[in-house]
């Protein structure tokens, strides 16, 4: 008698499932950006499956000063633009601070016009290993422009002057001393807005808020138009007779420094700082459970056929 076989495929499923990783099948998403432009504190939470962030940090620009009675006045210095790539973990909270632009000033506002320096902007300001800080620009002064924000090592740039000597940028959170004639020193950086330096009844514009902001210098009627220092991790420079030094910048190895070009024109406010964070999603590991089918062969020759009729 012939042996007859019947093949039944896919009839039985395994009740125990097993997982296969298909992480390689995920496609990385397009770059995503988040921007922060309002001066003050903010935070950013790292999304799932993201392990690095590209950050661009811009410090606030210094305000410009216009004195139509004596001189044209000086423009505000520019804040720094600092770019860096940071290693992060999913769910990590990144602290941010956006520096404000310095206030501009004109002779019509006060008998002793003083423009304010820009505030610094920062990412991870409390972590020495990963912080990225862009200094603010110095305020413009009597006949001279404010200094542009400095680059590495927390040292700001010098302002230009028509008369007198420019103040140096502060270092390590200390405001630079004002130079002649009879300019007051800038306030020390304190982890927040810098204090205003005063010397007699003169008035000063507000400096931009910033992490470790520098103070704004002010003069009296005999030494008018002293400008404010810019904020920065390195400290804003103090007022000089004619202009102000700017705040310094800092960041981890591999960062780049440029000038943002956001200083205020004569008599105008400086531009606010900003922080832009860019990242790519994935690839994000996932798991897939599959149920393999089985093939069963049945020997029908062992079954004795029965015929009826």
Domain annotation covers residue 9: no
Largest CA distance in the chain: 132
Query: Which residues make beta-bridge pairs with 67?
Result: 71
256 pLDDT higher than 70? yes
52 pLDDT higher than 50? yes
Residue 244: predicted pLDDT: 57
- Max mean pLDDT among 26-35, 121-130, 170-179, 296-305 falls in 121-130
* Full domain range(s) for residue 251: 28-293
100 pLDDT higher than 80? yes
Query: Could you tell me which residue, 170 or 106, shows the higher pLDDT?
Result: 106
Query: Could you tell me which residue, 97 or 27, shows the higher pLDDT?
Result: 97
193 pLDDT higher than 50? no
**Binning pLDDT at 50, 70 and 90, where does residue 288 land?**
low
What are 197-216's pLDDT values in tens digits?
A: 333 333 444 455 454 444 44
Calculate what percentage of the chain has a pLDDT beyond 70.
44
Domain annotation covers residue 92: yes
What are 64-92's pLDDT values in tens digits?
A: 877 666 556 678 888 889 999 999 999 99
- Max mean pLDDT among 5-14, 44-53, 194-203, 238-247 falls in 44-53
Domain annotation covers residue 16: no
The mean per-residue pLDDT over the stretch 234-257 comes to 60
- Max mean pLDDT among 84-98, 166-180, 270-284 falls in 84-98
3-state secondary structure 222-254: CCCCECECCCCCCCCCCECECEECCCCCECCCC
The mean per-residue pLDDT over the stretch 161-180 comes to 38
- Structure-token match 């590991």, residue found: 285
How many of the other CB atoms lie within 10 Å of CB of 282? 15
The mean per-residue pLDDT over the stretch 6-11 comes to 47
Residue 304: predicted pLDDT: 67
The mean per-residue pLDDT over the stretch 16-33 comes to 49
**Binning pLDDT at 50, 70 and 90, where does residue 307 land?**
low
Domain annotation covers residue 56: yes
DSSP one-letter string for 275-288: EEEEEE------EE
Domain annotation covers residue 8: no
Count, residues in the chain = 309
Which pair of structure tokens corresponds to residue 130?
């990963």
Query: Could you tell me which residue, 200 or 285, shows the higher pLDDT?
Result: 285
Domain annotation covers residue 232: yes
The mean per-residue pLDDT over the stretch 280-302 comes to 68
The mean per-residue pLDDT over the stretch 160-177 comes to 39
- Structure-token match 């973990």, residue found: 89
**Binning pLDDT at 50, 70 and 90, where does residue 278 land?**
very high
Residue 118: predicted pLDDT: 84
Query: Could you tell me which residue, 242 or 220, shows the higher pLDDT?
Result: 242
How confident is the prediction for the chain on average, in pLDDT?
Answer: 65
Residue 299: predicted pLDDT: 67
Domain annotation covers residue 18: no
Q: How many domains does the chain contain in total?
A: 1
């Amino acid at each position: 008698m012939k042996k007859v076989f019947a093949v039944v495929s896919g009839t039985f499923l395994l009740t125990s499932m097993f997982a296969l990783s298909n992480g390689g099948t995920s496609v990385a998403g397009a770059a995503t950006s988040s921007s922060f432009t309002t001066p003050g504190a903010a935070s950013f939470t790292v999304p799932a499956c993201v392990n690095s962030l590209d950050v661009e940090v811009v410090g606030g620009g210094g305000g410009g000063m216009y004195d139509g009675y004596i001189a044209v006045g000086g423009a505000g210095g520019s804040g720094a633009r600092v770019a860096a790539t940071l290693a992060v973990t999913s769910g990590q909270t990144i602290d941010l601070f956006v520096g404000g632009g310095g206030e501009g000033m004109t002779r019509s506002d006060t008998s002793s016009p003083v423009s304010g320096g820009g505030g610094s902007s920062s990412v991870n300001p409390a972590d020495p290993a990963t912080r990225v800080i862009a200094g603010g620009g110095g305020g413009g002064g009597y006949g001279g422009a404010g200094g542009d924000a400095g680059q590495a090592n927390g040292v700001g740039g010098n302002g230009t002057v028509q008369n007198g000597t420019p103040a140096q940028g502060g270092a390590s959170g200390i405001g630079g001393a004002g130079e002649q004639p009879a300019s007051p020193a800038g306030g020390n950086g304190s982890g927040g807005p810098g204090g205003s330096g005063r010397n007699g009844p003169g008035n000063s514009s507000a400096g931009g808020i910033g992490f470790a902001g520098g103070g704004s210098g002010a003069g009296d009627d005999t030494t008018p138009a002293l400008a404010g220092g810019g904020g920065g991790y390195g400290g804003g420079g103090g007022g000089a007779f004619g202009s102000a030094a700017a705040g310094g910048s800092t960041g981890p190895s591999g960062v780049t420094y440029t000038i943002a070009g956001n200083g205020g024109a004569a008599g105008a406010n400086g531009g606010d700082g900003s922080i832009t964070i860019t990242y790519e999603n994935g690839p994000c590991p996932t798991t897939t459970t599959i149920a393999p089918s089985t093939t069963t062969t049945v020997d029908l020759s062992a079954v004795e056929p029965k015929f009826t009729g």
